[in-house]
């Protein structure tokens, strides 16, 4: 039976998202319509879950592994409506609660593009907590993370508020609970476990404030624990990747800039123009200072914009470049391992690690210091078209976890390869799991619902490529 279904990087509300409805002629989004990809994806998931988990048995919990809502590049109202379409298809009003295939509680691990939802959750949690403390008592520092093992998930008030608009969801008590940034589920003996994390901290761009602080104070120790990493960098992540979409016309301009970043000439033009404009305002009465300021700003802005432009998803020929592979290793060996040791007192001998963020699905065995043996690493890809040209490694997947905590990747598509398949990370000489064999038999790309999904996803990817070409050249 399927116990968990993990998906990330839907970027609901973004025009580049395959899960947002986009008019193929005008490239305008209509968040009050479900996207064709989303509708067909739900049909595929219904088929697999219904065949794997018979009626009356336990329903799988949906893990939303970050960047579900696009808060950086979309208006909040549009993102909310796009999320509403997603939820209405998963929990349709014309079916009873018993007929739904997912559990009515969803777990959400915020990413960088919807990080602000974590800020809302943790601040509300803190307010609720200090209200119970006697007046004039000492107040603790606000929490920056939740526990990863047996956490107390925090209700996501924004997502839950959207769902409360639907009477049938309100009546069925459908809810989203937040865990951040890491979550582990284990068997009873804690010998086997699965870790979920969005994965933005595998890239140095998201620890920029820690880098700057270390440059200013080179003798200090860089943070190793996830609490300290988040405490130093949350404001930066929240500002750039979760706030821009709520900045009116500025937010829309940021989306244009973001799209142009795939062209090095456009990046240079943007940084030069921005540096020139800022220097002119700051030093308008002193030409020498203006020239000097402009030079410094061009360097500084160039560094930041280049990091964004050269993020992992911008490396077309590998699922992980060496820099990001090092970042992934560093993240798992330090903050993840430290959190596990502090909370669990033991490290499971069999572990799987599931993350998203890079929009490039893969599954492989990887060795990390401090772990009993190799870890099965899965990336569940993304549902966004990031580049003007087709990128073979970009695609979307869903990671399924059964009651034995075996994982497999339901590879829904890669750009240029529009077929659904199943893949599994395995130890050397290990046979495919029974879970893999069961799900593999359900996939038939020549028949419904998979044939329709394959046809739709190919058309929708082409529309997003056309949209990006139009945006970059505007």
For 236-285, write each residue's pLDDT tens digit.
Answer: 898 877 766 555 444 455 555 555 555 555 555 555 555 555 555 556 56
Question: Does residue 340 share a domain with residue 208?
Answer: yes
pLDDT of the residue at 217: 82
Rounded CA-CA distance 250/237 in Å is 17
Given a cut of 80, is residue 359 above it in pLDDT?
Answer: yes
- With contact defined as beta carbons under 8 Å apart, do 414 and 394 qualify? yes
> Among 4-8, 16-20, 103-107, 310-314, where is mean pLDDT lowest?
310-314
pLDDT band at 214 (very low <50, low <70, confident <90, very high): confident
Instruction: Please give the average per-residue pLDDT across 398-421, as a whole number.
Output: 98
Rounded CA-CA distance 79/251 in Å is 13
pLDDT of the residue at 215: 81
Assigned token pair, 397:
């997947």
Residue partners of 62: CB distance under 8 A and separation at least 6? 4, 5, 7, 90, 102, 103, 106, 107
pLDDT of the residue at 255: 54
Question: Does residue 72 share a domain with residue 215?
Answer: yes
> Among 219-223, 398-402, 458-462, where is mean pLDDT lowest?
219-223
Question: Does residue 263 share a domain with residue 397?
Answer: no
Question: Does residue 103 share a domain with residue 67?
Answer: yes
Question: Does residue 332 share a domain with residue 293?
Answer: no
Give tens-digit pLDDT for 24-41.
999 999 999 999 999 999
- Name the residue range of residue 266's domain: 243-310
More confident site: 55 or 2: 2
Q: Which of 1, 20, 3, 2 is nearest to 382 (CA)?
A: 20
Neighbours of 213 (CB within 10 A): 16
Instruction: Please give the average per-residue pLDDT across 318-339, as a whole number.
Output: 94
Question: Does residue 378 share a domain with residue 236?
Answer: yes
Residue partners of 187: CB distance under 8 A and separation at least 6? 193, 405
Question: Does residue 124 share a domain with residue 89?
Answer: yes
Domain final residue, candidates 252, 280, 310: 310
Domain final residue, candidates 310, 327, 343: 310
Question: Does residue 328 share a domain with residue 259?
Answer: no
Rounded CA-CA distance 91/105 in Å is 11
Question: Does residue 173 share a domain with residue 139?
Answer: yes
* Mean predicted lDDT score pLDDT of the chain: 88
Given a cut of 90, is residue 331 above it in pLDDT?
Answer: yes
> Among 9-13, 54-58, 181-185, where is mean pLDDT lowest?
54-58
Q: Which of 110, 135, 140 is nearest to 230 (CA)?
A: 110
- With contact defined as beta carbons under 8 Å apart, do 190 and 348 qualify? yes
Instruction: Please give the average per-residue pLDDT across 225-237, as a whole number.
Output: 94
Given a cut of 90, is residue 63 above it in pLDDT?
Answer: yes
Q: How many domains does the chain have?
A: 2
Assigned token pair, 129:
């907590």
Instruction: Please give the average per-residue pLDDT across 204-214, as a whole number.
Output: 87
Please give the C-alpha separations between residue 432 and each of 31, 314, 403, 440, in angstroms, as whole numbers. Answer: 41, 32, 16, 11
Question: Does residue 71 share a domain with residue 9?
Answer: yes
Instruction: Please give the average per-residue pLDDT across 387-416, as a whole number.
Output: 96
In the chain the first and final C-alpha atoms are separated, in Å, by 50
Question: Does residue 414 share a domain with residue 465?
Answer: yes
Question: Does residue 269 share a domain with residue 121?
Answer: no
Is the pTM for the entire model greater than 0.75? yes
Q: Which DSSP string do the residues of 362-429 spell out, in sequence order?
A: EEEEE--TTSSS-EEEEE-B-SB---SS--TT-EEEEEEEETT--EEEEEEEETTB---EEE----TT
Instruction: Please give the average per-residue pLDDT across 429-447, as a whole number.
Output: 96
pLDDT band at 54 (very low <50, low <70, confident <90, very high): confident
Domain final residue, candidates 310, 345, 360: 310
Rounded CA-CA distance 276/298 in Å is 8
């Amino acid at each position: 039976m399927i116990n968990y279904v993990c998906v990330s990087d839907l970027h609901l509300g973004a025009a580049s998202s395959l899960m947002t409805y986009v008019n193929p002629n005008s490239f305008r989004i209509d968040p009050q319509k479900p996207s064709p990809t989303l509708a067909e994806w739900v049909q595929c998931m219904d088929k697999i879950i219904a065949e794997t988990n018979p009626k009356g048995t336990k329903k799988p919990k949906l893990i939303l592994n970050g960047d579900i809502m696009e808060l950086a590049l979309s208006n909040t109202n549009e993102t909310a409506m796009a999320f509403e379409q997603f939820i209405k298809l998963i929990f349709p009003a014309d079916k009873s609660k018993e007929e739904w295939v997912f559990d009515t509680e969803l777990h959400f691990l915020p990413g960088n593009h919807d990080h602000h939802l974590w800020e809302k959750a943790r601040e509300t949690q803190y307010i609720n907590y200090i209200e119970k403390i006697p007046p004039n008592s000492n107040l603790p520092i606000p929490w920056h993370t939740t526990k990863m093992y047996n956490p107390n998930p925090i209700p996501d008030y924004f997502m839950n508020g959207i769902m409360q608009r639907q009477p049938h969801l309100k009546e069925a008590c459908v809810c989203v609970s937040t865990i951040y940034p890491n979550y582990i589920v284990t068997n009873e003996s804690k010998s086997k476990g699965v870790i979920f994390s969005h994965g933005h901290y595998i890239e140095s761009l998201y620890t920029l404030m820690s880098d700057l602080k270390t440059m200013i104070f080179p003798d200090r120790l860089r943070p190793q624990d996830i609490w300290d990493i988040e405490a130093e960098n949350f404001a930066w992540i929240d500002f750039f990747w979760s706030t821009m979409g709520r900045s009116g016309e500025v937010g829309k301009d940021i989306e244009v800039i973001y799209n142009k970043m795939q062209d090095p000439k456009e990046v240079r033009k943007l940084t030069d123009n921005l540096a020139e404009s800022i220097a002119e305002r700051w030093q308008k009465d002193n030409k020498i200072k203006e020239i000097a300021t402009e030079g410094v700003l061009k360097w500084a802005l160039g560094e930041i914009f280049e990091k964004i432009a050269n993020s992992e998803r911008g490396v077309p020929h590998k699922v992980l470049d060496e820099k990001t592979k090092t970042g992934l290793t560093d993240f798992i060996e330090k903050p993840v391992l430290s959190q596990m040791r502090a909370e669990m007192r033991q490290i499971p001998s069999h572990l799987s690690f599931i993350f998203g963020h890079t929009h490039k699905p893969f599954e492989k065995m990887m060795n990390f210091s401090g772990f009993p043996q190799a870890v099965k690493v899965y990336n569940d890809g993304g549902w966004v078209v990031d580049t003007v040209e087709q990128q073979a490694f970009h695609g979307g997947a869903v990671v399924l976890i059964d009651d034995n905590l075996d994982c497999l990747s339901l590879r829904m598509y890669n750009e240029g390869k529009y077929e659904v398949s199943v893949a599994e990370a395995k130890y050397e000489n290990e046979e495919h799991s029974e879970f893999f064999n069961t799900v593999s038999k359900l996939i038939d790309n020549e028949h419904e619902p998979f044939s329709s999904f394959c046809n739709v996803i190919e058309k929708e990817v082409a529309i997003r490529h056309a949209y990006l070409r139009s945006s970059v050249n505007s």
